[in-house]
């Protein structure tokens, strides 16, 4: 065991359940079930994390009342005994990997969408869900539940817990965070009832206390009950204060829950000027809430808290996690997205191999793909996540080949890594003096620092896998043919799209700006995609007066909804002028002429004009070689690429195909 982390890696208990260490995999929806049933993809996903060393796994949000309580079409369900056989298999594979198994049980309430459930959502009160960063939208007004319906749902939770016990789970977690029904009852903004379930804090938590009592009756004291709790809501639609949170923790402790996972909730249609996206979240950001709850319980009861508190929030950094535990801020550490990116994270920490950990870069695609696009989760680093059956097996190549990879972006590195792991002799050529490709540019704007964590990981992987790396070499067709390679992978990236307007030669590229080019006081950015908007923020934070001109009707449309909301909030707060449905006609010495959506000619003062209208694939090398090399592939941005997860998946797939 790595002695640097004695608290993190020491055994722990949740109720009567013993854990091998103090790490807990947080429940994260993957949306990969088949009509609510556990399938091979679900089994492999959790088996890999259990084998990876985590102490306990809280299986993703699982519906107790389908279809009314569904979140996505791929959500797990446990509202009927027919789901028990699959859940038994799931509990078994988690236990076989050495982890304890808990099932998160939930109802989506007013957060459910008619397109998924086929009906009007329900909630504590007929109050529409406000804008949620994760959902990317506000929702329709729900139908208010009757008291008899609430009691029926309470029983559904309890029966779901009983099914989980029959399936072999060690306990359940009641979901009371985010836009789910559990939080809705606790929030005075969502719950305006005047009966036994609303009004006072005591009434708002009645729903949860009734469920806990009934689960104990059905499942006994040896079956653990956890609660995932929002101890505060933030934003203009907030309805849970910190005082409420302390009260709820105290009441849950009195009710005999075995642990509370502590989080915060947020509702806002706009992000503030200083709010950070996930790509800039601090390590263990939610741990401080545990300390507040711990102090609050002591101040209100006169006694130290007895219920274990689980803290985390970007807890992939073992140094920060160890500090949180050693200082007594929390009792266990929950780890979320980091375990999606690196399934064996805890084993790597225990073995002292922290430099091999694939980082979560905070891109948010795992959330966006599910909630905005109705698909399975994906990851910008882990190509296997929720793809196919989640099979992490890398099969050795039957015939070892000489492989040349051209391009050191994420697609090229992944192809080289996998091909080398399979036994091929791999050489990677990169035209610049560093690997990383577009990632090196993407991490330069404000709040994108976690993207920079990927580069040292890529460098270390190439080293570990024995890939020969040649930097500063722009490979030609003749070079490749002279190499006599058995397989060639082209991952040559992109080239900027040319701006075809009068005076275009006066403009500079967004890349130049992010790399330190001098700009004037008044800057016009042409192009309002993610790079254009991020460049505009970069300039506005230097005190520049910035305007964005975009031909489409929205800005940063190619960015995940959560990150887009934060980015646009920053631009608004910084006073950036945002012009959509506008076309630039010319660039003059001191101005930009454009036509607005109504056909009116307008002019903007501009000391500097920045072009950020996107890139196009640089497939020239591939096109020149495709008829000359028997086994050749074109991947990543040079093949249309798009978002990072697609580029990484391209590389992974080709690396396994050679």
Query: Which residues does the annotation mark as catalytic?
Result: 180
For residues 586 and 593, what is the distance between their CA atoms, to the nearest angstrom? Answer: 5
Pairing of strands 224-234, 143-144: unpaired
CB atoms < 10 A from the CB of 295, how many? Answer: 12
For residues 495 and 619, what is the distance between their CA atoms, to the nearest angstrom? Answer: 10
For residues 21 and 349, what is the distance between their CA atoms, to the nearest angstrom? Answer: 12
Asked if 509 and 496 count as a contact pair (C-beta separation under 8 A), the reply is yes
Pairing of strands 100-106, 171-176: parallel
DSSP 341: H
* 3 state SS of 22: coil
Asked if 586 and 441 count as a contact pair (C-beta separation under 8 A), the reply is no
Instruction: Enter the tokens of residue 5.
Output: 């982390």
- Looking at the DSSP bridge assignments, the partners of residue 102 are 58, 171
The contacts of residue 353 (CB under 8 Å, 6+ apart) are none
Asked if 277 and 563 count as a contact pair (C-beta separation under 8 A), the reply is yes
Which candidate, 292, 293, 287, 342, places its Cα nearest to that of 315? 287
For residues 190 and 597, what is the distance between their CA atoms, to the nearest angstrom? Answer: 39
Write the CA distances from 328 to 83, 229, 292, 332, integer angstroms. Answer: 39, 19, 12, 10
Which candidate, 280, 382, 392, places its Cα nearest to that of 338? 382
- Provide the residue count of the chain: 658
Phi, psi of 478 (to 5 degrees): -65, -40
Write the CA distances from 633 to 399, 401, 487, 658, integer angstroms. Answer: 18, 15, 8, 9
Estimate the share of the chain in helix, then strand, then coil, as percent rounded to the nearest 5.
Answer: 35, 20, 45
For residues 552 and 107, what is the distance between their CA atoms, to the nearest angstrom? Answer: 38
Asked if 279 and 447 count as a contact pair (C-beta separation under 8 A), the reply is yes
Instruction: Enter the tokens of residue 17.
Output: 């359940």
Terminal-to-terminal C-alpha distance of the chain? 37
Phi, psi of 334 (to 5 degrees): -95, 140
Which candidate, 381, 627, 363, 621, places its Cα nearest to that of 493? 621
Instruction: Enter the tokens of residue 446.
Output: 């404000």
For residues 82 and 96, what is the distance between their CA atoms, to the nearest angstrom? Answer: 23
């Amino acid at each position: 065991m790595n002695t640097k982390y004695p608290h993190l890696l020491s055994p722990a208990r949740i109720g009567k359940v013993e854990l091998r260490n103090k790490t807990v995999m947080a429940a994260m929806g993957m949306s990969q079930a088949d009509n609510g049933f556990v399938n091979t993809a679900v089994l492999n996903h959790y088996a890999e994390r259990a084998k990876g060393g985590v102490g306990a796994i809280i299986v993703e949000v699982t519906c107790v009342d389908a279809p009314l309580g569904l979140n996505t079409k791929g959500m797990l369900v446990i509202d009927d005994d027919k789901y028990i056989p699959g859940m038994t298999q799931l509990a078994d594979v988690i236990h076989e990997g050495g982890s304890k198994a808990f099932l998160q049980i939930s109802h989506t309430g007013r957060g459910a969408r008619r397109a998924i459930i086929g009906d009007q959502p329900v909630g504590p009160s007929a109050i529409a869900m406000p804008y949620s960063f994760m959902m990317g939208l506000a929702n329709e007004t729900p139908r208010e539940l009757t008291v008899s319906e609430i009691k029926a749902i309470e029983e559904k939770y309890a029966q779901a817990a009983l099914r989980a016990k029959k399936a072999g789970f060690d306990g359940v977690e009641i979901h009371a965070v985010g836009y789910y029904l559990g939080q809705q009852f606790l929030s005075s903004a969502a719950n305006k009832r005047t009966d036994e379930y609303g009004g006072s804090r005591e009434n708002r938590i009645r729903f949860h206390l009734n469920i806990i009592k009934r689960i104990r009756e059905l499942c006994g004291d040896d079956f653990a009950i956890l609660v995932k709790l929002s101890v505060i809501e933030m934003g203009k639609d907030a309805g849970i204060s910190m005082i409420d949170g302390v009260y709820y923790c105290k009441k849950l402790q009195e009710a005999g829950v075995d642990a509370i996972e502590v989080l915060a909730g947020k509702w806002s249609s706009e992000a503030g000027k200083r709010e950070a996206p996930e790509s800039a979240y601090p390590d263990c950001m939610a741990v401080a809430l545990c300390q507040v709850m711990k102090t609050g319980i002591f101040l209100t009861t006169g006694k130290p808290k007895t219920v274990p508190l689980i803290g985390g929030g970007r807890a992939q950094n073992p140094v920060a996690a160890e500090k949180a535990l050693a200082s007594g801020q929390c009792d266990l550490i929950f780890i979320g997205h980091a375990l999606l990116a690196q399934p064996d994270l805890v084993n790597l920490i225990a073995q002292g191999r922290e430099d091999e950990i694939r980082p979560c870069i905070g891109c948010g695609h795992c959330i966006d793909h599910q909630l905005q696009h109705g698909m399975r989760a994906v990851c910008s680093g882990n190509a296997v996540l929720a793809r196919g059956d989640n099979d992490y097996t890398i099969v050795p190549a039957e015939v070892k080949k000489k492989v040349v990879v051209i391009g050191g972006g994420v697609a090229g590195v992944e192809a080289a890594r996998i091909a080398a792991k399979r036994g091929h002799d791999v050489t990677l050529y990169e035209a610049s003096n560093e690997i990383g490709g577009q990632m090196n540019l993407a991490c330069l704007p404000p709040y994108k620092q976690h993207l920079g964590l990927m580069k040292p990981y890529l460098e270390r992987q190439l080293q570990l896998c024995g890939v020969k790396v040649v930097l500063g070499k722009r490979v030609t067709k003749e070079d490749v043919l002279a190499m006599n390679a058995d397989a060639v992978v082209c991952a040559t990236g992109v080239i900027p799209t040319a701006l075809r307007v009068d005076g275009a030669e006066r403009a500079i590229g967004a890349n130049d700006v992010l790399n330190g080019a001098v700009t004037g006081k008044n800057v016009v950015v042409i192009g309002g995609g993610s790079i254009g908007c991020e460049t505009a923020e970069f300039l506005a934070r230097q005190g520049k007066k910035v305007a964005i001109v975009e031909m489409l009707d929205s800005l940063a449309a190619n960015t995940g909804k959560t990150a887009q909301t934060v980015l646009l909030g920053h631009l608004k707060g910084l006073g950036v002028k945002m012009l959509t449905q506008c076309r630039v006609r010319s660039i003059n010495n001191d101005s930009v002429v454009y036509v607005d959506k109504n056909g009116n000619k307008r002019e903007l003062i501009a000391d500097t004009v920045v072009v950020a209208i996107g890139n196009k694939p640089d497939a020239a090398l591939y096109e020149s070689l495709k008829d000359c090399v028997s086994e050749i592939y074109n991947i990543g941005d040079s093949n249309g690429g798009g978002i990072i997860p697609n580029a990484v998946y391209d590389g992974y797939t080709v690396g396994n195909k050679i």
